[in-house]
Structures are given as C-alpha cells and as structure tokens.
A and B are shown apart, each in its own frame.
Chain A
C-alpha cells in the first residue's frame, strides 16, 4: 500500500497533496550568516550569473531553479548550504539566544545543527550528537565548511545522553529531530514510500519517545525543546508527544510558524491526543511546495531561574 493514502482524510485538498508529492523538490539553499549577509550573497550570485529566487517566507532561503549550488563561489566559501526549506523549521522554532547551551540529539548530517549555530551567532555551546559514527563525518565536514566553531560533536545513544563530562548542568534548549519513516522526503527519495511498513513505524516510536524524554530531562525548567520529524504519520508525531506530555512536566507552547501549516491533530483512528497538540504544526507538500514536516515546541516545567513556576 502507499502510505500517503492514510493521510488524504487529514488534508484539505487530497488531489493537490498527492500531486505535490509526485513532483521533484526544488533545490534550496540557506544563507549562512556566520559568513555573509543575504545581500552580499545575492550580489555574489548575481556576479556569477546564478539564477535564484528568495523563498517568500524567509529571505535567508533561496531557491535555485537550475539545481545544485555546489560549484559556485558563495557555496565554496561556506556562505550557502544546501538545505530543504522545511529543515529550517527546528532552529527557527527553538530560536536559541547567543550564549545558550543547546543539544541537537540527532544531528548528522548537520544542516539543522549548523542553522542552530547561525541563530546562536556561533556562541554558547552547541552539542551535536548522533549515534551513527559514519554520518558524523558529514556533520563535521558541514560544520567546518560553514565555519561553525561553537560545536561539540558527540557519538552516543541520545536516549542515554549525559552532559556530565561536558561540565554542563542543564540545557537551555534542545532539538529532537528524530529518526522517522521519512514519508515527507518522498519528493527527494520516492523509495521511502515503497519501503514503508507499519512494523517499521512501530519500531521507531519507542526510540522517538526515548529521545524526546531525554531531551526534556536534560533541559532546565523554563527551557524549550523542539520535536520534529519528516513524516506525516500521527503514530510518530502527535502520539509520541502526547505520550511524553503525560509522562513529564513539559507542556506544549504555541509557535507562529512562518509558512502555511495545518494544526497538529488531536485524534487518529481510535486514539485521542491532548488538546494542546493542536499547537503543533503539520506541513504538507502542497501548502508551500516543500517537503513534508512536523514540528512541536515544548516548554519544560518546574521553577525556572527567575523562580517562576512554569507549566504549573
């Protein structure tokens, strides 16, 4: 079966949804402001005669109708990084401050991690973890290319991650962009639809819950955690967040997404989710001509540094 059939009843326009899923994804780059401003980058692309369009919801993202940016001067200088539009959402949702201590639980190959570093102005401590040693070399390569110098790269199972050896007592924020069934990347890798199975989804859910729970445990009261996936499957999205909301003192917080989204759902098949899941965002490919995505922003409860009780 094609897993996309399952989601037709969730979208406003099933035909447009299926049509967008069948089209190739546009090539998009993010301007790395650690190296250059969007203005200077656009000027350099003009000098080189490269065609681009600014993405209407974010002037740091440029679409390249002619394809790959790999052989242009701005790319070689690390001013640009090839990155899908929706993969810019986790760093924008967390919106860390310069100087923060931030953990990216599943960081490789590093597009979202390097975007976090950019938002943090390359200051504070950014921990990029991944359990896959092979993929860590891509993370390190991207960070070096983009001049990210506030990054600590670690190779651990995110579910048991410890900050002890880093001398950090708690995080200000975390991103749990977890391994998932990746249906939302079908415009890039149509294979994901053929390989999809409910058994695979069920196997991932336990891992996803474990990673999100750990991110919340490591974050200080009042700190924030962003949970994201590139799948439409409610089992891996709202159901995971719902489970962790019930188990911890974290709560959903609203976030104004900068592009068109649909709210998180509160029921699926015979399951009901906490009403606050409507604060999460679903991104369907036909809404903004992007990949598919899910993002939820949570705040960790308890007394924060100012003594205010959060989430009580």
Chain B
C-alpha cells in the first residue's frame, strides 16, 4: 500500500495500533512494534512489560496504553492512560506514561537530589552539568522510602534539565533531607 492509499486518522475514536509498520492502514500511525522498541531503546524497558498491554491512537499522535483488549475502533471517552506522543520528530513520553512504566527503566533516568527533585516537581528548569548521558527526553526520578520513584519527564539540552511536569501536576513539595 502506498502512502496515498492510506486512510486519514480519525481523532474521534480509539484505533488499536497495527502490529508492525507493514500492517499500517492509517497514514503516519505508529505501530505497536515501534512503540515497544522505543521504550526499550530509550529507557531500557523490557518488551515483556507490555505483554498484556494494547496501544491505541486517539487524536493526532496521542498514544494510549490499555491493560486489556477491545474491538477496534472504539468510540469511548478514555481507554487506559496516555503514554506517548508520536507524529513528531522526537517522540515524547507522557508524565503518566513514565510514572506507570518508568520504574522498569534502566537507561536515561536522571536521579535527582532532594532539592533538585522538589524544584523539578514544581516545574522549574535547572542547570545540571553532571549528566553525561543522552540529550532529549529523560525520566526524572528520586529516592523515596528506600526505592527510586519516577517524578516525570524532563528535557535535557545544553546542560539544562527542563521540567515537563504539566501545570496541573506541579506542586511545591518538601525537600527531603
């Protein structure tokens, strides 16, 4: 099938992602394989993590993860949680996506000190020169009650960690010493 024969995305319904790019019937739509590969390549999240999860697109490039399956397409108001934004040069994980799946991450996780974690959660950008990993979208995490916990998505560029915590989730929190 050539690109011109592919259908357009319908933003009013949830469509299950095709299994592979070869199964694509809607122009520009990501495939399940690409989404699972992306989480593995970017964050080291094992593909088995998504064994029971189905991925859906509603709206342009907004990918939802649902922990079961339904007939596709389906016209409902919500299906699982949003995990990823595609249809742009750099795919962007969502806050809810990294909170749900980011605990399994082994790569591109920046662990923040107490004061840095509080600044990040409040939505502040900060200079963090110690990071020598990849630039781009990172999972910002901190230690709480003995284990690492993801806080949200950060964008790391030129030595700066920009907080991408959405306004509705931003909070002024205690610095845990």
Contacts and interface: CB of A to CB of B under 8 A. Distances in A.
Interface stretch (B3-11, B22-30, B142-150): B142-150
A166 B71 CA distance: 6
A152 B76 contact: yes
A236 to B, nearest CB: 27
A74 B176 CA distance: 12
Interface string B137-161: 0000000111101010000000000
Interface stretch (B40-48, B84-92, B164-172): B164-172
Interface string A101-125: 0000000000000000000001111
Given A73-B144, A76-B121, A149-B65, A47 B82 contact: no
Interface residues of A, number: 41
A40 B145 contact: yes
B154 to A, nearest CB: 15
Contacts of A71: 171-173
A136 interface: yes
A140 B169 CA distance: 14
B77 interface: yes
B85 to A, nearest CB: 14
B77 A165 contact: no
Contacts of A140: 77-78
A144 B81 contact: yes
Nearest to A37: B145
A276 interface: no
A195 interface: no
Interface string A135-171: 0100111011101111111110000000001110000
Interface residues of B, number: 34
Given A149-B53, A165-B71, A73 B176 contact: yes
Contact of A151 (B80, B82, B149): B80
A114 to B, nearest CB: 12
Contacts of B63: none
B66 A144 contact: no
Contacts of A139: 78
B71 A149 contact: no
Nearest to B152: A76
A26 B151 CA distance: 29
Nearest to A121: B67
A243 interface: no
B145 A44 contact: yes
Interface string A80-104: 0000000000000000000000000
Contact of B144 (A47, A147, A148, A154): A47
Interface string A17-47: 0000000000000000000100011011001
Contact of A147 (B78, B79, B99, B145): B99
Contact of A78 (B52, B82, B99): B99
A48 interface: yes
B174 A125 contact: no
A48 B77 contact: no
The 5 closest A-B CB pairs, nearest first, are A153-B78, A44-B145, A43-B145, A153-B77, A149-B67
